[in-house]
Homo-oligomer: A and B are copies of this chain.
């Protein structure tokens, strides 16, 4: 019998059958009215996910490419920027900004904590020459969600633009771009958008577009002015990963079935149910504040080998969770509950997790854990 495989990693996440089916259809050409009609619809629907009136650009790239686009399109070498970070992906903003010659003011918090919006506001008040603030919605490496609304209030009253890595956050943690005043939102296909990796997305406010016109960093493949221009005829400047775009139409339909808010609420409930399960396990959360609704980061209990835990679940029991990255390696593991991940996936996840923890010497009661999960998840029939 073929082993059931359950994917609970915070990207890639499971891809719905409708999307897989579309990717297995014979390919056709992208410079055709047929493709442009689809891409035009997809580009409109994406605005509902970003909650914006801005155009959303679709890049054929990993999310990191779109992060790079968010540096080179808005800055000139030597510009002063704030990077507010507390995790591996926030650190990537620092590397990128330095690589392109920026002066970087780092506002750090410990792994497991959120960055302090107040410190960002104070720093902006003291430094009138800051061009941009780079931060993260959901820091995937720690499972912490930052207070983007508060940070956006600080940037709104300054000349700086706010650029948010929402690669794993978009469609899982609430962040209405226009309402909150976020200038640039970056996302990727393989998280809450339920697709394989290969596409990245960017939405740019009018305030940021002005910076785009002045920016002197060299750019070509990621020159967003080319994407803006191409979008007027539902096109991209370079050959798109078109099979992923076709599949995106299907996943957006699923995600928006009852509107974005309903999907975010479902995801939030699944996150709460997961946290209830983790508590019943007697384990500690790695996120000390504002846990993301996209994933839960959990401390490996004392005496258990964290790398072994993840490996046994994946290789022997068919359940893939993510381990820790960098200095968190072996110390934490992460369960995702975003996108197409449903209750049943998480029940199997918890069942395999308790089984494996017991085998590794940490005593826990599978039924108690599932009951705790079901108590929260079962109160409403979400994402079955």
Interface status of A219 (Cβ within 8 A of chain B) = yes
Given that A62-B240, A198-B60, A238-B62 are known contacts, is A220 also in contact with B99, CB under 8 Å in the complex?
yes
Interface status of A197 (Cβ within 8 A of chain B) = yes
Given that A62-B221, A68-B221, A220-B68 are known contacts, is A241 also in contact with B196, CB under 8 Å in the complex?
yes
Of B27, B101, B219, the residue contacting A99 (CB under 8 A) is: B219
Of B27, B100, B198, B219, the residue contacting A12 (CB under 8 A) is: B27
Distance (Å) between the CB of A102 and the closest chain B CB? 10
Chain A residues 36-80 with CB under 8 Å of chain B are 60-65, 67-68
Task: Return chain B residues, CB-CB under 8 Å to A341.
Answer: none
Distance (Å) between the CB of A8 and the closest chain B CB? 10
Of B23, B197, B239, B314, the residue contacting A62 (CB under 8 A) is: B239
Interface status of A26 (Cβ within 8 A of chain B) = yes
The answer to whether A21 touches B20, judged by C-beta atoms less than 8 angstroms apart, is no
Given that A65-B61, A65-B221, A239-B62 are known contacts, is A26 also in contact with B9, CB under 8 Å in the complex?
no
Chain A residues 1-27 with CB under 8 Å of chain B are 5, 7, 9, 11-12, 14-15, 20-21, 23-27
Contact with B along A336-350 (1 / 0, CB 8 A): 000000000000000
The answer to whether B12 touches A197, judged by C-beta atoms less than 8 angstroms apart, is no
Interface status of A366 (Cβ within 8 A of chain B) = no
Interface status of A119 (Cβ within 8 A of chain B) = no
- The distance in angstroms between the C-alpha atoms of A5 and B32, with both chains bound, is 14
Interface status of A280 (Cβ within 8 A of chain B) = no
Chain A residues 214-262 with CB under 8 Å of chain B are 217-221, 238-244
Task: Return chain B residues, CB-CB under 8 Å to A5.
Answer: 26, 28
Given that A60-B61, A62-B240, A63-B239 are known contacts, is A99 also in contact with B197, CB under 8 Å in the complex?
no
Of B62, B238, B320, the residue contacting A28 (CB under 8 A) is: B320
Interface status of A383 (Cβ within 8 A of chain B) = no
The answer to whether B240 touches A197, judged by C-beta atoms less than 8 angstroms apart, is yes
Distance (Å) between the CB of A206 and the closest chain B CB? 25
- The distance in angstroms between the C-alpha atoms of A14 and B25, with both chains bound, is 11
Interface status of A190 (Cβ within 8 A of chain B) = yes
Distance (Å) between the CB of A81 and the closest chain B CB? 15
Interface status of A95 (Cβ within 8 A of chain B) = yes
Task: Return chain B residues, CB-CB under 8 Å to A68.
Answer: 220-221
Copies in the complex: 2
- The distance in angstroms between the C-alpha atoms of A101 and B33, with both chains bound, is 37
- The distance in angstroms between the C-alpha atoms of A30 and B190, with both chains bound, is 12
Chain A residues 86-101 with CB under 8 Å of chain B are 95-96, 99-101
Of B26, B29, B32, B196, the residue contacting A243 (CB under 8 A) is: B196
Given that A60-B61, A61-B65, A62-B221 are known contacts, is A14 also in contact with B30, CB under 8 Å in the complex?
no
The answer to whether A100 touches B65, judged by C-beta atoms less than 8 angstroms apart, is no
**Residue ID in chain B nearest A8 by CB atoms:** B29
- The distance in angstroms between the C-alpha atoms of A241 and B59, with both chains bound, is 13
Contact with B along A189-209 (1 / 0, CB 8 A): 010000011100000000000
Please name the 8 residue pairs, one residue from A and one from B, whose CB atoms are nearest each other, closest first: A198-B241, A24-B24, A62-B238, A196-B243, A20-B24, A64-B238, A65-B221, A197-B239
Query: What are 17 sample pairs from A and B whose C-beta atoms fall under 8 A apart?
Result: A14-B26, A15-B26, A15-B27, A21-B24, A28-B320, A60-B65, A60-B198, A61-B65, A62-B240, A64-B238, A64-B239, A96-B220, A100-B218, A197-B242, A198-B198, A198-B244, A217-B218
